[in-house]
Amino acid sequence: QKEVEQDPGPLSVPEGAIVSLNCTYSNSAFQYFMWYRQYSRKGPELLMYTYSSGNKEDGRFTAQVDKSSKYISLFIRDSQPSDSATYLCAMGTGRRALTFGSGTRLQVQP
């Protein structure tokens, strides 16, 4: 079993839809949780960073963490074609390297 599981997609939605991206993990030692967006042939861009259970909102993005269920989500409201990318969940402990999910490819259709 992988430490972090993420549905690879691809996920195709119409413009304006609400998108839900999810990851589950098995290591209860993870202290913080991140979501990255990666466009083709580019480095990952940090979207959201959280370290506690609950919701964190930033514009159209909401990150949700449930440590008791070992489950994290990223919601994108009013999705735009420019949101089409691969979304990676990542988790970490201290200053060690992050553990990544496999990434979910999202396509927002205009």
Partner 1 sequence: GAVVSQHPSWVICKSGTSVKIECRSLDFQATTMFWYRQFPKQSLMLMATSNEGSKATYEQGVEKDKFLINHASLTLSTLTVTSAHPEDSSFYICSAPQRASYEQYFGPGTRLTVT
Instruction: Pick the binder of partner 1 from 45, 57, 66, 78 (CB under 8 A).
Output: 45
| Bridge partners of residue 67, in order along the sequence | none
Q: Is the dihedral of CA 100, 46, 24, 103 positive or negative?
A: negative
Stretch that binds partner 1, among 12-20, 57-65, 68-76, 96-104 (CB under 8 A): 96-104
Asked if 51 touches partner 1 (CB under 8 A), the answer is yes
Residue 82, helix vs strand vs coil: helix
Asked whether 110 and 81 are in contact (CB, 8 A), the reply is yes
Instruction: Pick the binder of partner 1 from 1, 41, 68, 110 (CB under 8 A).
Output: 41
For strands 11-14 and 104-109, give the pairing. Answer: parallel
Residues that bind partner 1 (CB under 8 A): 31-32, 34, 36, 41-46, 49, 51, 88, 90, 92, 94-98, 100-103
